[in-house]
Amino acid sequence: MAQRIANHVLSRTPFKPYIFRVDDLLRTVNEKAYEPAMVAIGPYHHGKKILERMEEHKSKYLQQLLQRRNESSVDKYVAKLRALEEEARSCYAEPISLDKDKFVEMMLVDGCFIIEFLRKTKMKELVDEDDPIFQIDRIKNILGRDLILFENQLPLFILVQLFNMTKHSDDHMNDMDIAEIALNFLGRKLPCSKGIQASTRVSIDNFDHLLGLMHHRWSPSFAEMAPNRNVGNQDKLQLIKSTTELERVGIKFRKAVNTSLFDIRFRKKIMKIPSITVNDETECLFRNLIAYEQYHQNFCQNYVTGYATFMNCLIDSAKDVEALRSYGIIENRLADDASVSAMFNKLCSNVAINRRKFCYSHVLEKVNDYRPGFLKKKYAELKYRLRDPLTFLNVKFSVVTIVLAAIQIMDLVNKS
């Protein structure tokens, strides 16, 4: 395994950073979505006063790890990380002010905290009864959120190195690697887990950090089933109308089942969209995955950006969210439908859309090419309008009035 790690490190392009700070244009739309709430990982948020309380727990986790291994010194870990310090430092796009010793100390403490935390999510016997992180589910969930923030990352090869160095002979997870354990816990945060099998072994060779692992493990389920679907005029991105506007021309919506969240299809005036649960974590997750795609466009398919753009087309207002809820496509766990609409409308603000990597060009073209006949269009519009209770009552009243008038006229004719 040591040789595998060495090959992994040597195979990277020297001084090619892949851990960035989010730029101001993205950050200003929702700054809190990129900021850790409880734990700082890596140098960008290191030393922040509001995150100091977790530093005590980091040290405690490191001590527990050493005690479990009957070790009293961190010397061997420090020596290993010193050898990787220059490579790890070059992974960050911004200059790091920490000197060599402080940088190595940060990697050791942060890395062992992540490893111990993820181990404890899988091995409950390792959790102390008085551990507040596992006594309150909310704390555990917030830590999981912080671990997948774009700026809050350690290079994955550092985690792999520490994980393999701290395996115990009696550890029943010796046949698992850090990627599997991370996906087992963090993968639950994805809005749709179809296609993500945490038990399936994945190679760490091409992953940069935990957020990158999440992105790459989530995306292939769609990529494998649609290698040739992005066809048509890719230089021109013509967006589509909202859900309620499309309903007016006769397009129907259905919930797609047993498929990836990204697998949106349109055929014979029916659009099939997988369901998504929108909760308090959804915006943060999407924003950080979109930021990842924005900064890695040379090798990264923009599935999340494309999905967010497509849903933004379909959702212009709370009425569109209400319609998608009625089809089972959106499960809303926010305050109201207006909150969901606002979230999707702002997700791609200041985001660059790579048209050649936009994975729904084929769907957009088919929808825009759909032309219902005159009668079908009028019928669809009437059917849509009748969904409004007031319109339905007005139509019903009008029909009753016409029927009554007809009866009166017939009665007068008969009497005459």
What is the C-alpha to C-alpha distance for residues 381 and 181, in angstroms, rounded to an integer?
A: 51
> Do the beta carbons of residue 161 and residue 5 sit within 8 Å?
yes
Supply the pLDDT for residue 8: 43
Phi, psi of 306 (to 5 degrees): -65, -45
Number of domains composing the chain: 3
Is 377 inside a domain boundary?
A: no
Residues 192 and 67 occupy one common structural domain: yes
Residues 125 and 209 occupy one common structural domain: yes
Q: What is the pLDDT of residues 141-156, one digit of tens each?
A: 999 999 999 999 999 9
* Structure-block tokens of residue 123: 């091995």
Supply the pLDDT for residue 416: 61
What is the C-alpha to C-alpha distance for residues 303 and 53, in angstroms, rounded to an integer?
A: 37
Residues 117 and 187 occupy one common structural domain: yes
Residues 214 and 231 occupy one common structural domain: no
Residues 174 and 252 occupy one common structural domain: no
Supply the pLDDT for residue 229: 52
Is 261 inside a domain boundary?
A: yes
pLDDT band at 16 (very low <50, low <70, confident <90, very high): confident
Q: In degrees, to the nearest 5, what angle opens at C-alpha 188 toward C-alphas 278 and 139?
A: 90
Phi, psi of 171 (to 5 degrees): -70, 120
User: Is 80 exceeded by the pLDDT of residue 121?
Assistant: yes
What are the angstrom distances between the C-alpha of 119 and each of 78, 176, 183, 201?
21, 11, 12, 16
User: Is 80 exceeded by the pLDDT of residue 312?
Assistant: yes
Residues 394 and 348 occupy one common structural domain: no
What are the angstrom distances between the C-alpha of 278 and each of 69, 243, 284, 357?
42, 17, 11, 25
What is the C-alpha to C-alpha distance for residues 319 and 342, in angstroms, rounded to an integer?
A: 12
Is 296 inside a domain boundary?
A: yes
Is 246 inside a domain boundary?
A: yes
The DSSP bridge partners found for residue 163 are none
Query: Residue 398's domain spans which residues?
Result: 386-415
Give the residue-averaged pLDDT of 182-195: 76
What are the angstrom distances between the C-alpha of 267 and each of 292, 364, 413?
32, 12, 53
pLDDT band at 174 (very low <50, low <70, confident <90, very high): low
